[in-house]
A and B are shown apart, each in its own frame.
Chain A
Amino acid sequence: MSVDQKIHIPQSVPTAPGPGTPAAIRVRDLHKSFRIPTKRVDSLKERAVHPFASRDYRELNALRGLSFEIRQGEFFGIVGRNGSGKSTLLKLLASIYKADSGSIEIAGRLAPFIELGVGFNHELTARENVVLNGVMMGLTPKEMRNRLDAVIDFAELREFADLKLKNYSSGMLVRLAFAVMMEADADVLLIDEVLAVGDASFQQKCADAFHQMKAQGKTIVLVTHEMGSVESYCHRAMLISDGEIKYLGEPTEAGRRYLKLNFAAETGDSNDEEANQEEEVDSGEGARLTSMRILDVDGNETSTVEMGEPIRVEAEIELLQDAPGLHAGFVLANADDVSMFELSVPIHSADGNNIKGNTVLVTATVANPLAPGRHFFHCGLQSPFGISVYVPKAATFVVFGTHPSAGILAPETDFRVRIPGEEV
């Protein structure tokens, strides 16, 4: 189960800080590149043997000129594929990495949470660690000692307060770390994918905490791959791809574009898969499936279908002999290979006969009640006179949607809520 199903709670009234609100973070033309040595020189001997080896590096442009502004009190989401530069951006904002050029301005005290529980010393007790961690976040030891009880209570770890962290379970560690974060009382919080941990009740607590922080008007920057979180918490969201801003604005739209971007990149390897399938297709049985593709609205091949959008398939079948009564069957299965439904197409020419050597193009449009996830078409060709071809996974595609959905289907629904005694 994905996290966000557990922590999905109704949207609080999001009073987004308007354009007039002063900025909490202002970034101008931020550049960051890493030097990736093609051969890492880690010892003096290597350096002595290859004195110029260190010059062999590749420049990796992780961020290419980002400019944006985050307003005070805003809950700001950052989404993007793996390696797009999200964590790098947070580390630059948090003064962990040094920018190559460009400027960063921040209002107030900032606390980064790149990973929960960093800086915990496992040889020390929870109490000692809480104080140490608080000081790392810029509080004084005294302030942190005053908040100690609040932190321990929030984490619900009172009985374990004097236990050394090395004896904690990983979930308990996360609770403690999250509790410290909540009590750190920074003006700006940077959070990098730390939601996906802890048990269900703690998830709920985190969700509540986020809503509370939002209500307190703290500025929060959240990096996540969970589009549900983006939609339910964020006022605005930014999509990064290859170190550039691809979109900045509505969370829903950012999420949609993110998913599209994510699965668009898969077209490449799904072609490979089809190439592999080709062998099985050629079973020499009198008919064969030469290709099967999923199409978008414009008739171009695609590997993604948005939730609720109809699925368009196109299959090319080559007939090697007369095949009266031939049927093509396309079985739609999900990633767990559960068959969902079958699409059965009788194949015959206008006069009812099949002609040897012909290729037949079958196109079909099917309503799409599928929940997000990967799906396959298995293809079968069958005739009463001996043709029996079965091609598993003849085509594959991903259904994407911004709302995660439990179950394997997500049929379109129309609903109304009526409260007796209230005027509609």
Chain B
Amino acid sequence: MASRAEAPLQRVGGPSALGGGPRRFFDLLWLMSITEFKRVYFGTVLGYLWSLIRPLLLFGVLLFVFTKVFRVGSKTVEHYAVMLLLGIVLFTFFQEATTNAVTSVVAQEGVVRKTQFPRLVIPLSTVITAMLNLALNLVVVLAFVLAFGVSPAWTWFLFPVALAALLVFTAAIGMALSVLYVRFRDVAIIWAVLAQVLLYLTPILYPINAFEEENQTYEHLLMWNPLSVIFTQIRVWVLHEPDAPSVVHAAGGWAGLIPATIIFFGVIAFGAWIFKRDAPRVAEAL
């Protein structure tokens, strides 16, 4: 008989969001994200191209509509096309990550109900998969940015900061949606509609300063949306146009940023709280 190293008895706390130790958590997170990414891109004939074609097609159509039909873009913004493309690619990430996260826990039912699995890995891995996709798309965007004559600037190094904020915000929403969906299946439909609404409530198709003088209030109200703040800041940092409004200006002063800040951290806190609360009992509720 082989004698085993005697391990001490340790109290078991039950299932949780992070259960199983940090090393296992990150191993699993990375492995799950990368395998899903590979599956999508090596599983189809055109692979990666598909994920690029969708935002590019949207970009082409919108560019035509907003510069040739409505003429919103071309007048007020120096680099309207680049702003539009960057916005679409980033929003596509947000939409894809959150939409996939909604059903993720339910879709991984077998794993949740029959293995010891840190619950948080599941929604987070959909966000990471979307992020890998975004990283590839950003390379293409970079080519466009340079082609359209935007010159590189040191503020480009600040772009990851804004990206990180977007990532955290996306992950928090994904976490909340994934456990809410276990109990309320309507969440999927509601979120599909909400995400669509958010696309129009974020300055992507139009610049934030597109409003007439007397409608400035709308501009300030739009800045309640944390995504508006992030996207506006990205425009400042990446495109560095002289007449692009700063975040503070668009919000109508520093005080105007308070609602967005509260919402931003509120959403993160809510996502973390509800996930932590529901994760231990997800397996039995499925």
Which residues on A are within 8 Å of B, measured CB to CB?
Answer: 15, 22-23, 26, 34, 42-45, 47, 72-73, 91-99, 103-112, 114-115, 118-119, 121, 123-124, 128, 131-132, 135-138, 140-141, 187, 215-218
Known A-B contacts A95-B116, A98-B281; the reply to A136 vs B110 at CB < 8 A is no
- Residue in B7, B11, B32, B115 whose CB lies within 8 Å of A96: B115
Point out the residues of chain A lying under 8 angstroms from B7, CB to CB.
107-109, 187
Question: In the complex, are the beta carbons of B9 and A135 less than 8 A apart?
Answer: no
Question: In the assembled complex, how far is the CB of residue B275 from the closest CB belonging to chain A, in whole angstroms?
Answer: 15
Question: In the complex, are the beta carbons of A136 and B19 less than 8 A apart?
Answer: no
- Residue in A23, A34, A96, A218 whose CB lies within 8 Å of B9: A23
Question: In the complex, are the beta carbons of B114 and A131 less than 8 A apart?
Answer: no
Judged by a CB distance under 8 angstroms, whether B184 is at the interface is yes
Known A-B contacts A112-B116, A119-B115; the reply to A72 vs B4 at CB < 8 A is yes
Judged by a CB distance under 8 angstroms, whether B2 is at the interface is yes
A111 and B283 alpha carbons, distance in the complex (Å): 17
Contact flags (1/0) for B7-48 with A, using CB distance below 8 Å? 111111111100110011001100110010001000100000
Judged by a CB distance under 8 angstroms, whether B54 is at the interface is no
A329 and B275 alpha carbons, distance in the complex (Å): 70
Judged by a CB distance under 8 angstroms, whether B135 is at the interface is no
Question: In the complex, are the beta carbons of A96 and B15 less than 8 A apart?
Answer: yes
Question: In the complex, are the beta carbons of A26 and B9 less than 8 A apart?
Answer: yes
Which residue of A has the minimal Cβ distance to B43?
A: A123
Question: In the assembled complex, how far is the CB of residue B184 from the closest CB belonging to chain A, in whole angstroms?
Answer: 5
Point out the residues of chain B lying under 8 angstroms from A105, CB to CB.
9-12
Question: In the complex, are the beta carbons of B15 and A98 less than 8 A apart?
Answer: yes
Judged by a CB distance under 8 angstroms, whether B1 is at the interface is yes
Total A-B residue contacts, Cβ distance less than 8 Å: 128
Ordered by A's residue number, 22 sampled pairs between the chains whose C-beta atoms are within 8 Å are A15-B1, A22-B6, A42-B184, A44-B186, A94-B115, A96-B112, A97-B284, A98-B281, A103-B11, A104-B11, A105-B10, A105-B11, A106-B9, A107-B9, A119-B115, A121-B35, A131-B31, A132-B31, A135-B31, A136-B116, A136-B117, A215-B2
Question: In the complex, are the beta carbons of A98 and B14 less than 8 A apart?
Answer: yes
Judged by a CB distance under 8 angstroms, whether B256 is at the interface is no
Question: In the complex, are the beta carbons of B115 and A114 less than 8 A apart?
Answer: yes
A187 and B19 alpha carbons, distance in the complex (Å): 18
Interface centre among B2, B3, B12, B113 (most CB of A within 10 A): B12
What is the interface size of chain B, counting residues whose CB is below 8 A from a CB of the partner?
A: 43
Point out the residues of chain A lying under 8 angstroms from B43, CB to CB.
123
Known A-B contacts A44-B184, A97-B284, A138-B24; the reply to A106 vs B35 at CB < 8 A is no
Point out the residues of chain B lying under 8 angstroms from A73, CB to CB.
1, 4
Judged by a CB distance under 8 angstroms, whether B111 is at the interface is yes
Which residue of B has the minimal Cβ distance to A25?
A: B9
Question: In the assembled complex, how far is the CB of residue B27 from the closest CB belonging to chain A, in whole angstroms?
Answer: 5
Point out the residues of chain B lying under 8 angstroms from A95, CB to CB.
12-16, 19, 116
Point out the residues of chain A lying under 8 angstroms from B2, CB to CB.
215-217
- Residue in B9, B19, B184, B283 whose CB lies within 8 Å of A97: B283
Point out the residues of chain B lying under 8 angstroms from A123, CB to CB.
39, 43
Question: In the complex, are the beta carbons of B28 and A118 less than 8 A apart?
Answer: no
Question: In the complex, are the beta carbons of B114 and A45 less than 8 A apart?
Answer: no
Question: In the complex, are the beta carbons of A140 and B10 less than 8 A apart?
Answer: no
Question: In the complex, are the beta carbons of B39 and A121 less than 8 A apart?
Answer: yes
Judged by a CB distance under 8 angstroms, whether B185 is at the interface is yes
- Residue in A34, A45, A97, A109 whose CB lies within 8 Å of B14: A97
Point out the residues of chain A lying under 8 angstroms from B16, CB to CB.
95
Point out the residues of chain B lying under 8 angstroms from A45, CB to CB.
186
Question: In the complex, are the beta carbons of B28 and A135 less than 8 A apart?
Answer: yes
Point out the residues of chain B lying under 8 angstroms from A96, CB to CB.
15, 112-116, 283
A30 and B16 alpha carbons, distance in the complex (Å): 18
Judged by a CB distance under 8 angstroms, whether B280 is at the interface is yes
Question: In the complex, are the beta carbons of B116 and A110 less than 8 A apart?
Answer: yes
Question: In the complex, are the beta carbons of B19 and A118 less than 8 A apart?
Answer: no
Known: A42-B184, A110-B116, A187-B7. 12 other contacts (CB 8 A): A42-B185, A92-B14, A95-B13, A95-B15, A97-B283, A98-B14, A98-B15, A105-B10, A112-B114, A121-B35, A131-B31, A136-B115
A204 and B137 alpha carbons, distance in the complex (Å): 53
Question: In the assembled complex, how far is the CB of residue B41 from the closest CB belonging to chain A, in whole angstroms?
Answer: 12
Tell me the residues in window 203-251 of chain B with beta carbons closer than 8 Å to chain A beta carbons: none
Question: In the complex, are the beta carbons of B12 and A91 less than 8 A apart?
Answer: no
Tell me the residues in window 109-129 of chain B with beta carbons closer than 8 Å to chain A beta carbons: 110-117
Which residue of B has the minimal Cβ distance to A15?
A: B1
A215 and B184 alpha carbons, distance in the complex (Å): 49
Question: In the assembled complex, how far is the CB of residue B53 from the closest CB belonging to chain A, in whole angstroms?
Answer: 22
Which residue of A has the minimal Cβ distance to B40?
A: A123
Known A-B contacts A96-B113, A97-B283, A128-B35; the reply to A107 vs B12 at CB < 8 A is no
Question: In the assembled complex, how far is the CB of residue A303 from the closest CB belonging to chain B, in whole angstroms?
Answer: 35
Tell me the residues in window 74-118 of chain B with beta carbons closer than 8 Å to chain A beta carbons: 110-117
Question: In the complex, are the beta carbons of A104 and B116 less than 8 A apart?
Answer: no
A138 and B117 alpha carbons, distance in the complex (Å): 10
Interface centre among B15, B112, B116, B186 (most CB of A within 10 A): B116
Point out the residues of chain B lying under 8 angstroms from A119, CB to CB.
110-111, 114-115, 117
A123 and B13 alpha carbons, distance in the complex (Å): 34
Question: In the assembled complex, how far is the CB of residue A122 from the closest CB belonging to chain B, in whole angstroms?
Answer: 10
Point out the residues of chain B lying under 8 angstroms from A132, CB to CB.
31-32, 35
Which residue of A has the minimal Cβ distance to B15?
A: A95
A407 and B186 alpha carbons, distance in the complex (Å): 56
Which residue of A has the minimal Cβ distance to B110?
A: A118
Question: In the assembled complex, how far is the CB of residue B193 from the closest CB belonging to chain A, in whole angstroms?
Answer: 13
A91 and B2 alpha carbons, distance in the complex (Å): 28
Question: In the assembled complex, how far is the CB of residue B153 from the closest CB belonging to chain A, in whole angstroms?
Answer: 40
Known A-B contacts A119-B110, A217-B2; the reply to A141 vs B31 at CB < 8 A is yes
Point out the residues of chain A lying under 8 angstroms from B12, CB to CB.
93, 95, 104-106
Interface centre among A26, A95, A97 (most CB of B within 10 A): A95
Which residue of A has the minimal Cβ distance to B28?
A: A135
Point out the residues of chain A lying under 8 angstroms from B28, CB to CB.
135-136
Q: What are the 4 A-B residue pairs with the smallest beta carbon separation, nearest first?
A: A108-B7, A98-B14, A114-B114, A118-B114
Question: In the complex, are the beta carbons of A112 and B115 less than 8 A apart?
Answer: yes
Question: In the assembled complex, how far is the CB of residue A219 from the closest CB belonging to chain B, in whole angstroms?
Answer: 9
